[in-house]
A and B are shown apart, each in its own frame.
Chain A
């Protein structure tokens, strides 16, 4: 078994004393070398989770381990690009890349950074850049650091489809070449669906689905047929139209395909069904279970 890129156990943190929990009882494991989509609705706790893993926040309860150690210890080996792409506005593009070299003396790779930052106007001040250009520069710094784990918060939100495709290609090449683990968050799944082989679905401060995308999809079935009992399967969502029942279920044993018309749901259908049914139990595939949980199971 390969090591874990991220492992969270009962992780929780608050926004402040009054606003309650941003994340609570969060346990999962992300194996190293995966391209992981971190999806969930706005305010689900995606950014908080990434900030905790990057060591920008201290958990109020539980723990998170990154690359086998604490986030603080792993700082030189991980890159984090926050959602608002923070950069020093008064520095130029060239200065920012220079700062990247100064602040990551041990690992800085100029070529990797230039591969993404190349098309940017080198003498332009960061404050004059467009949203997309800022994203490009922020990603260039993350790549130049040559990390083992990249935590990218909404990396593609500001990019036009062409640039998105190009930068995704750079990221995938990086991952393929160096075995980098990449976590990308988004509230739009289709943005990431084609590139990611792992899925973490966060909603209401908890991880509700976690594991290989294929396994998660395979664990569910979309059933259509006459209204009747769906046991033993776990019903995520069901809809009746007249005597016709459409249900998205989590398979518990073989599905009787004489009684039902069985189709495989798309990942998007699966997530939407879970979003509409907050009471559906969480599902973590064995590789996504935190060690403490795995031992208990």
Chain B
């Protein structure tokens, strides 16, 4: 309680220093929410062209399902919603690194702050806590809105880009987003304290954060052991297909890697049989792996963030009394 009270003053001053940035962040948040609402309204308005009230999947008097332009463009837009939210986190990180911390170290205004009754540690804690609380709150609002936006028709055909395992959706659907927000803020603090230059710290933070995110995206499917189906069975429902191929009698995996010829495709199955495959297999993540995968990734990201914060405070303490 006493630490919270002690943080109130520094946090209020940070808010007043960066009023414009906070308004801009709020505007960005409202733009995101507003676009999702606008998209849904658009779909609703155009829905009479798409479906007949008789309840089947075809327009009135037609035999073929044809999604409206409203639906396809909404799908395109929302299929990168998760990526957009991670970009928002990166923006928060760059802001923490540049204007919030490094600029004070660069221009010497930290001397003003530390000459008041606020220790350097508390000065930094306020600059970490405030963006964390605000960005987390922002994400806590955005995520359900995004979920609601995606729910406009996951039971409609061809909406694969909106499944929650889809690359552009996945980071915006669970705790992993909060993990990335924490990581961005932590990396921002670390880069700012190490580099002490506004632009340099902001760009390095963005770069490092982007690197972690890209690597995590690449290795994400390995974070939980996938389920294997053999004998030509196909996984049901919204799953994440990891890899497929054939198995030799000794259990070795044979893929389609060498099945491409100069002329183009050959019959994959025949090719793999030719290379010793006897039975087909599919590795995939069923819907039930969603939470383990999310939690493992969140854990890794949070550990990285914790390391960055520890080093950041060490750097600060090394320099000051």
Residue numbers of A with Cβ under 8 A of B are 51-52, 54-59, 70-72, 75-76, 79-82, 84, 86-91, 95, 98-100, 102-107, 138, 141-142, 145
Contact = CB atoms under 8 A, between A and B. Distances in A.
Interface centre among B9, B107, B110, B116 (most CB of A within 10 A): B116
Nearest to A51: B111
B17 A103 contact: no
A162 B254 CA distance: 90
Contacts of B13: 99, 102-103
Contact of A58 (B112, B115, B319): B319
Given A81-B115, A90-B17, A91-B17, 6 more contacts: A58-B318, A58-B320, A80-B115, A82-B112, A89-B107, A102-B9
B109 interface: yes
A107 B9 CA distance: 13
Contact of B119 (A51, A75, A81, A98): A75
Interface string B291-321: 0000000000000000000000000001111
Q: Is the interface of B mostly helix, strand, loop or mixed?
A: helix
A142 B111 CA distance: 12
B113 interface: yes
Contacts of B10: 102-103
B260 to A, nearest CB: 57
Contacts of B16: 91, 95, 98-99
Nearest to A95: B16
B12 interface: yes
By Cβ-Cβ distance, the 10 closest A-B pairs, closest first, are A103-B116, A102-B9, A55-B321, A76-B117, A80-B115, A86-B108, A86-B112, A82-B111, A104-B117, A99-B13
Interface centre among B12, B114, B321 (most CB of A within 10 A): B321
Given A103-B117, A104-B116, A145-B117, A57 B109 contact: no
Interface residues of B, number: 24
A79 B115 contact: yes
B118 interface: yes
A64 to B, nearest CB: 8
Interface string B87-113: 000000000000000000001111111
B271 to A, nearest CB: 63
A99 to B, nearest CB: 5
A155 to B, nearest CB: 13
Contacts of A142: 115
16 contacts: A55-B320, A56-B320, A57-B319, A59-B321, A71-B321, A72-B119, A75-B117, A75-B118, A81-B115, A88-B109, A102-B13, A103-B118, A105-B117, A107-B117, A141-B112, A142-B115
Contacts of B118: 75, 103
A86 to B, nearest CB: 4
B108 A84 contact: yes
A289 to B, nearest CB: 23
B319 A88 contact: no
B320 A88 contact: no
B113 A103 contact: yes
Contacts of B112: 82, 86-88, 138, 141
A17 to B, nearest CB: 14
Contact of B117 (A51, A58, A82, A106): A106
